[in-house]
Homo-oligomer: A and B are copies of this chain.
């Protein structure tokens, strides 16, 4: 791309580092900024910086947090004896949006991947076992991606936690609400038959 301005070229180069942003979108973003008032652009720059300078990691669950202990872990209404294990912040947002879970979370920050050389010691796992012991946890719900890394990590966790009198479960896989059987892939459809549930409940 031939830009007649180094400042814009630099901005496009920086903005196109974001996931899913190509150089054309980055140029649109840069030109959008050029048209906005300086105070608004200042706001955007500040909030980008604060992600690095102010954001912490919750000492309890490992989630990104504004404080040493995150709002969920600090909330007395949340059941500390039920822990939902997820990969990252995005998963917490997704589950919180369902308003169906009243326990606390544990964020691994990654998944076990023998191919990429990521072992249990490379992710936030050992503190999970400490939490389980300290808080007399009753149930661990493992909510990881349905792929090889997710399955490996789920299997590892279930083996490690098993035998301590703790209920272990994974979120159910099946056909999305509103989906047609004929358009569902075979693996999902197969699992939904194996994991069939009694009806009426």
Contacts and interface: CB of A to CB of B under 8 A. Distances in A.
Interface of A: 1-8, 10-11, 13-15, 17-21, 25, 27-34, 36, 38, 40-55, 63-66, 70-72, 88-90, 92-93, 96-97
A32 B14 contact: no
Contacts of A44: 14-15, 17, 48
Nearest to A20: B25
Copies in the complex: 2
Contacts of A27: 90, 93
Contacts of A28: 18-20, 90
Given A14-B48, A19-B32, 11 more contacts: A4-B71, A5-B65, A7-B66, A11-B51, A13-B47, A14-B43, A17-B40, A21-B29, A27-B90, A38-B53, A48-B48
Nearest to A61: B4
Main secondary structure of the interface of A (DSSP, over half): helix
Contacts of A14: 43-44, 47-48
B72 A51 contact: no
A52 B41 contact: yes
